[in-house]
A and B are shown apart, each in its own frame.
Chain A
Amino acid sequence: MISSWPILSVVTYLPLLGVLFLFLIRGDEASVARNAKRVALWVSGFTFFLSLNLYWGFDASLSGYQFEEQADWIGKTGISYHLGVDGISMPFILLSTFLTPLAILASWHAITHRVRDYMIAFLVLETMMIGMFASLDMLMFYLFFEGVLIPMFLIIGVWGGAERVYAAFKFFLYTLLGSVVMLVCMLVMYQMTGTTDIPQLAAYEFAPALQFWLFLGFFASFAVKVPMWPVHTWLPDAHVQAPTAGSMILAGVLLKMGGYGFLRFSLPMFPDASAYFAPMIFVLSAIAVIYTSLVALAQSDMKKLIAYSSVAHMGFVTIGIFTLTEQGIDGAMFQMISHGLVSAALFFCVGVVYDRLHTREIDAYGGVVDAMPRYAAFFMFMMLASVGLPGTSGFVGEMLVLVGAWKAAPWVAVFAATGLVLGACYMLWLYRRVVFGKAEKSEVLEMPPLDSREIAIFVPLTILVLWFGVYPSTLLDIMDASVSTLLSQLNGSVLSASLR
């Protein structure tokens, strides 16, 4: 079905329209705050609703881009306004539009000052995220990719914790440093091909020697975003200091930008280099999985623990992508979506108790189950999904990645599986220390149970995690055609390289 209205543009810029509304709100501080929250929630909710059209209208049997929009932008210079989605980008757009209203809902009471500015930052962030996944032009992609930094920098810096300034700077400069290297590579590619159109660039065959450098440039940017060991150190700082909703979006969507970048740029455009560098990526990812799992074990801060677990989980994603097998890439995609949901939920779990006790120290809790039984149930479900319990979405992704890894390089699968065990250790241990045990502290016992707002955030996340766990085809079918195309491109190129 080709829809007659520019659905991608509408979905992308609708949040900006919401920003305009937010500017127009007048009144005293309390009413501005109240109305700003409502406007932001309605706008992001409506954006999600509209973005569902992408799902309904998407034809999974086609491998090309759908809902394409193309218009002149910068004259005849090969740079155009080009939007479109395929099976790889569409799930991410839905993930972004799905998580944003939940994140806004999650900050309903937690944010008390500058509420309007906060909502503006979130809606701008949403536009940047959707635009980045929808862009089919390299320059546009870069605009959105980098533009994300501005609202996120402010969200961490203005509404974050005690060390927020350091965390915000580290986040910004790390990511910027990676991205500018990619920018130079983009310039080189544009200069060589005369276009920034992503489908055209994917069809262009760069010389293997050049691919080598271009791959490294893009790698610098995406590896920081993912983040891969050893450039992951911004992540724990950013997560710990960011407000709950900021962490949800950061872990839920922003980390996926790196993985998406690998799939959209590195693999199709630099297939030879991808194959060449795959062992390096395997090593880095295996270290990430094992090392950050061990680090997570040693954490006393709940948010930091989950942040490190994110690095480990994203290690699976990079392994999956660079197995260059169907199972691996499917698994990486699945793992990214699943991790988007699960980690957002886990950060919200931390946020829920943080709102009540104002500490993230694990030792401050214990016996939460007595005070908040429903919370304990949701937390347990998400914790098990993070560990990869069969029946949850986490299992499918990890399973597929392991299968792919076994095909590509069995030793990686061994290390990754070890990481799974470690993951179970730190998550279960965290859960035991926080939720079980005897509630000795009176303030823990006095914590009020989940209210309806919090349940309203947990329920959709839980349903999706469960749904993807028992019926993964929902997601896999969408991706299938695009992933196959990607793989045929890859194999054709790698094959021709080996014949050369």
Chain B
Amino acid sequence: MDFSSLTFLAALPEFILIFFALILVLVAAFARQSDGHMKTVRTISLVGYAAGFAALFLLPQGATEIFNGMFRIDGLTAYMKGLVLLGGFFACWLVSDGWGEGIDRAEFHLLVLMAILGMLLMISANDLISLYMALELQSLPLYVVAAMRTGSLKSSEAGLKYFLLGALSSGMLLYGASMVYGFSGSTGFTEIAASLTTGDISVGMTVGMVFLLSGLAFKISAAPFHMWTPDVYEGAPTPVTALFAIVPKVASITLMLSVTYNALGGMAMQWQQILIALSVISMIVGATGAIMQQNIKRMLAYSSIAHMGYALAGLASGSIEGATSVVIYMTTYVFMGAGSFAIIMSMRRDGAPVERISDLSGLSSTHPIQAAGMMVIMFSMAGIPPLAGFFAKWYVFLAAVDAGLVPLAIIGVLTSVIGAFYYLRIIRLMYFQEADAPLDKGGERNNRLVLFASLAVILLFFLFIGPVHDHASSISGALASFS
């Protein structure tokens, strides 16, 4: 294998994250546990994400495959990596010093850094083997951080559930991968795609594809593979939930994008059916499941299921417009997730974190800025114009209509109305009701940067939609099915 400078440059963000992860290992092992210890650790990982983000601009232009075709970089992967690193930065920023849920440890930041590294590799995976390895590198640290609050039964339960179902999905994915390998004769995406251009699609290939997509559907928590999501969201420590809500789905859906568009582009007719089904079920489950929730993390879990349903609707259209819409959707998704968790993580009463939806009541009189921010985010998630969430949905449904999937678009808009109901419920609590017991003041200071950054993007997205769309459209053109 040749480690030319090109190789090094193409994987620069990943190398940077490895470098910072190693530093964290050393810090965790040898540094003295003083008061400033956690601050140092956090700063190191923040710098790591920032450096990784900066390195994205040094990547070679155009599509390149390195490591014998296992690792692919192009405009799309660079963009999605940027989103992941940004999400990682936000999630890390939100973990304030005094969270004190047993996660104030160097290991936490180390594990998250490793998980983010795994996500970057997932995005660039161009081979079934690198796909699986990257996926596991992402998953294993996340299993651990979900269970990190060792004293809490719920956290342990969340970790265990996540692990068991994650392992099951990995197994399915692996089985699917082996089928695909068996029937195409190769693990490389390029070779698989080439094998599909000639002759009929064999049944084995279809079976393999179904298992492969099912495994990936677990990772993005698309219904009916969503069962772990609400429990894990609820049980995991809130900073971990924030991480789950913001980042992994960006990587997983990009992986889904490259598997379907790059590797299996030749059998679009087959996977389109599956993605449509996943999309419809996710939209319905997400919209209806959230209505009855009392815990805000659970509610956001269902909301994320619905969001994945919308993103899948874009993916299902199987066109450049579809890929473009997924890119735009995930862009807004990261900011909406980060903003909402910036607020949830500042919800404390008498110093202890609270997470019931009713705890938000009267927020507008006690914390006007937080409440206004949450309102904007909720309207955006509901897809009300002129906020960012609307444009995301516009492009997703446009792609669906373009591909002739008008019924899918109709189901999508109808479920978004159902979804609006529970987003409005939060606004109602914050604005139409008075507080029973006000939340603590001052907890929001640390999260302000993330909140304001997200709000700026959500509110002003209509100004950037032109450039964002053009860029998303041009990088989606780099996907193998279209080039």
Contact = CB atoms under 8 A, between A and B. Distances in A.
Interface of A: 72-75, 77, 117, 139, 142-144, 146-147, 149-150, 153-154, 157-158, 164-165, 168-169, 172-173, 176-177, 180-181, 183-184, 187-188, 190-191
B398 A190 contact: yes
Contacts of A157: 427-428, 431-432
B466 A180 contact: no
10 contacts: A139-B394, A143-B386, A146-B384, A147-B384, A147-B386, A165-B428, A177-B417, A181-B413, A187-B397, A191-B401
B208 to A, nearest CB: 34
Interface of B: 364, 379, 384-386, 390, 394, 397-398, 401-402, 406, 409-410, 413-414, 416-417, 420-421, 424, 427-428, 431-432, 462, 465-467, 469-470
A225 B462 CA distance: 25
Nearest to A177: B417
Given A75-B466, A173-B417, A180-B417, 18 more contacts: A75-B469, A75-B470, A143-B390, A146-B384, A147-B385, A149-B384, A153-B427, A157-B428, A165-B432, A169-B428, A172-B420, A172-B424, A180-B413, A180-B414, A183-B397, A184-B397, A184-B409, A190-B398
B384 A169 contact: no
A153 B379 CA distance: 11
Contacts of B398: 187, 190-191
Contacts of A77: 469
A147 B431 CA distance: 18
B420 A173 contact: yes
Nearest to B414: A180
A72 B409 contact: no
Nearest to B415: A180
A176 B420 contact: yes
Given A143-B390, A147-B384, A187 B417 contact: no
A77 B406 CA distance: 20
A168 B386 CA distance: 20
A70 B112 CA distance: 48
A190 B410 CA distance: 16
B434 to A, nearest CB: 11
A169 B428 CA distance: 9
A154 B431 contact: yes
Contact of B413 (A139, A143, A173, A184): A184
Nearest to B365: A114
A214 to B, nearest CB: 12
A180 B466 CA distance: 23
Contacts of A180: 413-414, 416-417
A74 B417 contact: no
A146 B391 CA distance: 13
A183 to B, nearest CB: 6
Query: Mostly helix, strand, loop or mixed at chain A's interface?
Result: helix
A64 B114 CA distance: 62
Contacts of A169: 421, 424, 428
A165 B401 CA distance: 35
A298 B400 CA distance: 48
Contacts of B424: 153, 169, 172-173
B456 to A, nearest CB: 14
A176 B418 CA distance: 10
A225 to B, nearest CB: 15
Given A142-B385, A158-B431, A176-B420, A188 B401 contact: yes
B384 A150 contact: yes
Contacts of A74: 465-466, 469
Which interface residue of A117, A183, A191 has the most chain B CB atoms within 10 A? A183
Nearest to B372: A117
Nearest to A188: B401
Contacts of B402: 191
Contacts of B420: 172-173, 176
A263 to B, nearest CB: 22
A26 to B, nearest CB: 14
B466 A73 contact: yes
Nearest to A213: B406
A421 B469 CA distance: 56
Question: Top 9 A-B pairs ranked by shortest CB distance?
Answer: A180-B413, A143-B385, A187-B401, A143-B386, A74-B466, A75-B470, A157-B432, A146-B385, A177-B417
Contacts of A154: 427, 431
Nearest to A131: B386
Contacts of A190: 398
A72 B466 CA distance: 9
Nearest to B379: A150
Nearest to B397: A187
B406 A176 contact: no
Nearest to A76: B470
Nearest to A142: B385
Contacts of B432: 157-158, 164-165, 168
Contacts of A177: 414, 417
Residue with the highest number of chain B CB atoms closer than 10 Å, among A139, A144, A181, A187: A187
- Which of B402, B420, B431, B432: most chain A Cβ within 10 A? B432
A152 B130 CA distance: 52
Contacts of A117: 364
A220 to B, nearest CB: 11
Contacts of B386: 143-144, 147
Nearest to A160: B432
Contacts of A172: 420, 424
A181 B417 CA distance: 10
A147 B466 CA distance: 20
A22 to B, nearest CB: 13
A382 to B, nearest CB: 32
A363 B385 CA distance: 43
A176 B401 contact: no
A42 B303 CA distance: 42
A58 to B, nearest CB: 28
B409 A187 contact: yes
Contacts of B394: 139, 183, 187
Contacts of A188: 401, 406
Contacts of A150: 379, 384
Contacts of B364: 117
Nearest to A156: B432
A184 B428 CA distance: 28
B406 A184 contact: yes
Given A150-B379, A153-B424, A184 B401 contact: yes
Nearest to A187: B401
A18 to B, nearest CB: 17
A163 to B, nearest CB: 11
A183 B395 CA distance: 12
A126 to B, nearest CB: 15
Contacts of A144: 385-386
